[in-house]
């Protein structure tokens, strides 16, 4: 069978570069949806490819972050509500509720970002960036296979870590793998990788590496070790580099963070407080407060999930 074509769809948003993807099967599938503003441009992008939003039958969400699910309600309406909207059970609350994004901000980063208006800003961002709250039509856990017609089958693999409910979509037979933000490499715009659960993140990267993807599709232009961005569509060699680089960077951060965290939090006047010594030792000089604030999310992950035996 000839491989089903896959087309990236750029979705700019502020300082971010987001990507959705079209799986050009007989039942068209969109992977991720950007935010309200970027989703408005998707129908025109599909027209350039000779396709119509009305014919999209699948909206496949890799995880619940605002820049991946924000456009989903608008695009689902544009399909005449005929598309199946797929998200994992663990991340489905982010599709159902804007407030879930504010709650997530407060639980993961609220202790470290001292701006008293931060939660209100997050709520305003959720209002603008999320086109609607709704119930997914298909909730997955990993292990499902979706039939896109014409023999095209897409497998769902659970790859938690970046978020609890992150999933990969794998086009069977051609081994093209969509991972959203599950391979953070050396960070994107913020210059730091973001993951809620470091051990799960690692296990998911090892799972993806073992798949040996023919192509790997990332939600943002994550950076290589030398700071240059990967392309939108990674070939097999770039896929290996991105996945191994993500593992290497996690190991580097863990080796620095765990011994510091074992000695207790150091509250200082630094914008990196209470993790200033870790930022310093890692040479991280980015603004840690800019949302989605991966530095704090990741530090919180080590703080709350790392076990003493991991430090040996
Ligand atoms: Zn994300």
β-bridge pairing 6-13 and 16-23 = antiparallel
Percent of the chain surpassing pLDDT 90:
88
- The answer to whether residue 87 scores a pLDDT higher than 70 is yes
Ligand 1 center to residue 286 CA distance, Å?
18
Ligand 1 center to residue 11 CA distance, Å?
15
For the segment 272-280, the average pLDDT, to the nearest whole number, is 97
**Contact indicator for 30, 58 with CB cutoff of 8 Å:** yes
Ligand 1 center to residue 229 CA distance, Å?
17
Ligand 1 center to residue 38 CA distance, Å?
16
- Shortest CA distance to 191 belongs to which of 300, 80, 294? 294
Ligand 1 center to residue 169 CA distance, Å?
15
pLDDT value at residue 15:
67
Name, in order, each residue with C-beta under 8 angstroms of 12's C-beta and a sequence gap of 6 or more. 18, 38
pLDDT value at residue 311:
45
- Shortest CA distance to 6 belongs to which of 188, 202, 207, 178? 178
β-bridge pairing 215-218 and 28-31 = unpaired
- Secondary structure of 248-270 in the HEC alphabet? HHHHHHHHHHHHHHHCCCCCCCC
**Contact indicator for 234, 211 with CB cutoff of 8 Å:** no
Name, in order, each residue with C-beta under 8 angstroms of 232's C-beta and a sequence gap of 6 or more. 8, 19, 217, 218, 221
Ligand 1 center to residue 153 CA distance, Å?
25
pLDDT value at residue 307:
56
What's this model's pTM, rounded to 2 decimal places?
A: 0.96
**Contact indicator for 187, 225 with CB cutoff of 8 Å:** no
Ligand 1 center to residue 115 CA distance, Å?
22
pLDDT tier, 306 (very low <50, low <70, confident <90, very high otherwise): confident
- The answer to whether residue 305 scores a pLDDT higher than 90 is no
Helices (H), 109-235: 118-129, 198-211
Q: How far apart are CA 18 and CA 35, in angstroms?
A: 9
pLDDT tier, 192 (very low <50, low <70, confident <90, very high otherwise): very high
Beta strands of 82-190 (E only): which ranges? 84-88, 138-140, 145-147, 153-158, 167-171, 176-180
Q: How far apart are CA 40 and CA 18, in angstroms?
A: 14
Ligand 1 center to residue 180 CA distance, Å?
7
Ligand 1 center to residue 64 CA distance, Å?
7
What value, to the nearest 5°, has the Cα angle with vertex 21 and ends 217 and 180? 45
Ligand 1 center to residue 151 CA distance, Å?
30
Ligand 1 center to residue 136 CA distance, Å?
18
For the segment 15-24, the average pLDDT, to the nearest whole number, is 89
- The answer to whether residue 114 scores a pLDDT higher than 70 is yes
- The answer to whether residue 140 scores a pLDDT higher than 60 is yes
Ligand 1 center to residue 51 CA distance, Å?
27
Ligand 1 center to residue 220 CA distance, Å?
9
Ligand 1 center to residue 181 CA distance, Å?
5
The span from the first CA to the last CA of the chain, in angstroms, equals 49
Ligand 1 center to residue 23 CA distance, Å?
20
C-alpha gyration radius of the chain: 19
pLDDT tier, 171 (very low <50, low <70, confident <90, very high otherwise): very high
Ligand 1 center to residue 2 CA distance, Å?
31
Helices (H), the chain: 36-39, 42-48, 66-69, 72-78, 93-96, 99-108, 118-129, 198-211, 236-262, 276-282, 294-305
Q: How far apart are CA 77 and CA 183, in angstroms?
A: 30
């Amino acid at each position: 069978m000839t491989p089903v074509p896959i087309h990236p769809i750029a979705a700019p948003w502020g300082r971010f570069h987001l990507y959705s993807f079209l799986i050009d099967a007989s039942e068209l599938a969109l992977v991720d949806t950007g935010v309200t503003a970027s989703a408005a441009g998707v129908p025109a992008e599909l027209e350039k490819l000779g396709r119509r939003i009305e014919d999209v039958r699948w909206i496949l969400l890799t995880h619940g972050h605002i820049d991946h699910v924000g456009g989903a309600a608008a695009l689902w309406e544009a399909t005449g509500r005929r598309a199946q909207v797929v998200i994992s059970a663990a991340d489905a609350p982010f599709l159902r509720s804007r407030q879930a994004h504010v709650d997530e901000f407060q639980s993961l980063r609220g202790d470290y970002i001292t701006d008293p208006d931060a939660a209100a800003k997050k709520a305003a961002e959720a209002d603008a960036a999320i086109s609607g709250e709704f119930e997914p039509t298909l909730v997955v856990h990993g292990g499902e296979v979706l039939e896109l017609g014409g023999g095209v089958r897409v497998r769902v693999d659970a790859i938690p870590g970046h978020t609890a409910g992150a999933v990969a979509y794998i086009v069977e037979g051609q081994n093209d793998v969509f991972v959203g933000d599950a391979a953070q490499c050396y960070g994107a715009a913020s210059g730091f990788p973001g993951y809620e659960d470091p051990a799960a993140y690692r296990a998911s990267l090892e799972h993806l590496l073992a798949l040996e993807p023919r192509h790997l599709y990332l939600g943002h232009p994550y950076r290589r070790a030398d700071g240059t961005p990967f392309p939108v569509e990674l070939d097999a060699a770039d896929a290996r580099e991105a996945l191994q680089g993500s593992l290497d960077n996690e190991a580097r951060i863990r080796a620095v963070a765990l011994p510091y965290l074992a000695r207790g939090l150091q509250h200082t006047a630094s914008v990196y407080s209470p993790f200033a010594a870790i930022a310093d030792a890692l040479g991280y000089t980015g603004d840690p407060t800019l949302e989605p604030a991966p530095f704090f999310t990741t530090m919180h992950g080590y703080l709350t999930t790392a076990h003493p035996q991991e430090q040996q």
